[in-house]
């Protein structure tokens, strides 16, 4: 199981880059060159983020992308949901279908508690905090 898929990872990287550019419109070509993300793949991610209202796109000469909201209001959990669906750890590990004993299963209860803790911790991570951590690490 992957907590963060490649789509989410690349989208977060692109958004961190955009967030660190002080509301400047960032051309897709700049993102491709700086982040080494294949252009068609990046375009697909940015189109999805645009549809979901995370970024704004500008067409034509001087076009590109900006954040549609303050980076403090773009949550990692929202980005995970856009690209992966609802984060859920508590599916039965032993069967391909939903377990009929889910209400009594001690493993399910333990995993459910871990999932609650994980979601709570992830809900405090926003694009601004990630951007700051990347800057401090010299990755920005």
Q: Quick check: is 72 in a domain?
A: yes
Q: How far apart are CA 126 and CA 85, in angstroms?
A: 18
Domain of 60? 6-86+126-136
pLDDT, residue 24, reads: 94
Q: How far apart are CA 22 and CA 62, in angstroms?
A: 16
**Residue segments in the chain with a per-residue pLDDT below the cut of 50:** none
Q: Quick check: is 40 in a domain?
A: yes
Q: Quick check: is 44 in a domain?
A: yes
Q: Quick check: is 112 in a domain?
A: no
**53: domain CATH number?**
1.10.10.10
CA nearest neighbour of 8 among 39, 51, 30, 41: 41
Q: Quick check: is 131 in a domain?
A: yes
pLDDT, residue 87, reads: 79
Q: Take residue 75 and report the two structure tokens written for it.
A: 């949550």
Q: Quick check: is 97 in a domain?
A: no
Number of domains into which the chain is organized: 1
Q: Quick check: is 103 in a domain?
A: no
Contact between 13 and 131 (Cβ < 8 Å): no
pLDDT, residue 79, reads: 96
pLDDT, residue 82, reads: 96
Q: Quick check: is 120 in a domain?
A: no
Q: How far apart are CA 25 and CA 21, in angstroms?
A: 8
């Amino acid at each position: 199981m992957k907590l963060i898929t490649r789509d989410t990872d690349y989208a977060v990287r692109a958004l961190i880059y955009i967030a660190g550019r002080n509301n400047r419109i960032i051309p897709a070509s700049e993102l491709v060159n700086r982040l080494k993300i294949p252009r068609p793949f990046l375009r697909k991610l940015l189109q999805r983020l645009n549809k979901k209202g995370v970024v704004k796109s500008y067409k034509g000469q001087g076009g590109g992308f900006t954040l549609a909201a303050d980076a403090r209001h773009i949550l990692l959990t929202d980005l995970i949901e856009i690209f992966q669906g609802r984060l859920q750890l508590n599916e039965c590990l032993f069967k391909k279908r939903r377990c009929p004993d889910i209400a009594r299963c001690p493993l399910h209860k333990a995993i459910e508690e871990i999932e609650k803790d994980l979601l709570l911790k992830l809900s405090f991570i926003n694009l601004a905090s990630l951007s700051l951590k990347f800057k401090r690490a010299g990755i920005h």
